[in-house]
Amino acid sequence: MPRRPDPVSRARHRALGRDLFNYTWSLLDRPRRTAAEDDEMLHAAHASRYHWGHGAGGRERAIGEWQLARVYAVLGRAEPATFHARRSLALARRHHLSAFYVAYGWEALARAAAVAGDARGRDRHLTAARKLLPKVRAPDERRLLETDLDAIARRQ
């Protein structure tokens, strides 16, 4: 069966990916979510990654995979969190993204390991992420990364 042309423009895919990413983040930020909101958050994260896959570059794809890993970790689902964390890290490396994005790939793996109860894996991934901190040039990005890494390290 021949492929039909995509009815959505690249620019529209990019905008939908961004908007859905931000919507997902607004759900992640809620202190309490209903089961329906958890489902909505998961579907929005997948939709964001889908649209970024069609309208954006490697950076957005890596970020989309990272967000999926984060959502699955928040939902306590270690296996898909690990799957998407690995994809995020691989994309960050493949597209030669800055240390910030590579470190966040390791952060996602550490978070997934923590959810799985794998303290050794968590610590190994935290160490890999922390090694990249000196290469993260923007102070606000470094602080954000340190805060997230510290939160994972405190989680027992």
36-75 residue pLDDT tens: 999 999 999 999 999 999 988 999 999 999 999 999 999 9
Domain membership of residue 4 (yes or no) is no
pLDDT of residue 156: 61
Residue 139 has pLDDT above 90, yes or no: yes
Query: Could you give the CA distance from residue 103 to residue 8 in angstroms, rounded to a whole number?
Result: 33
Q: Is residue 68 part of a domain?
A: yes
**CATH classification at residue 72:** 1.25.40.10
Structure token pair of residue 96: 């030669």
Across the chain, what does the average pLDDT equal? 95
Share of the chain above pLDDT 70, in %: 99
pTM, two decimals, is 0.94
116 alpha-carbon distance from chain centroid: 17
Residue 1 is predicted with a pLDDT of 66
In a domain, 97, yes or no: yes
The residue segments making up the domain with residue 23 are 10-154
Q: How far apart are CA 87 and CA 29, in angstroms?
A: 23
In this structure, is residue 116 part of a structural domain? yes
Region of residue 96 (left: phi > 0; alpha: psi -120 to 50; beta: else):
left
Is residue 113, in this structure, part of any structural domain at all?
A: yes
77 within some domain: yes
The answer to whether position 28 is within a domain reads yes
Q: At what angle do helices 99-116 and 78-94 cross, to 10 degrees?
A: 160
Reference 102, options 143, 57, 54, 135; nearest CA is: 135
Q: How many domains does the chain have?
A: 1
- 53 found inside a domain: yes
Per-residue pLDDT, averaged over 106-122, amounts to 98
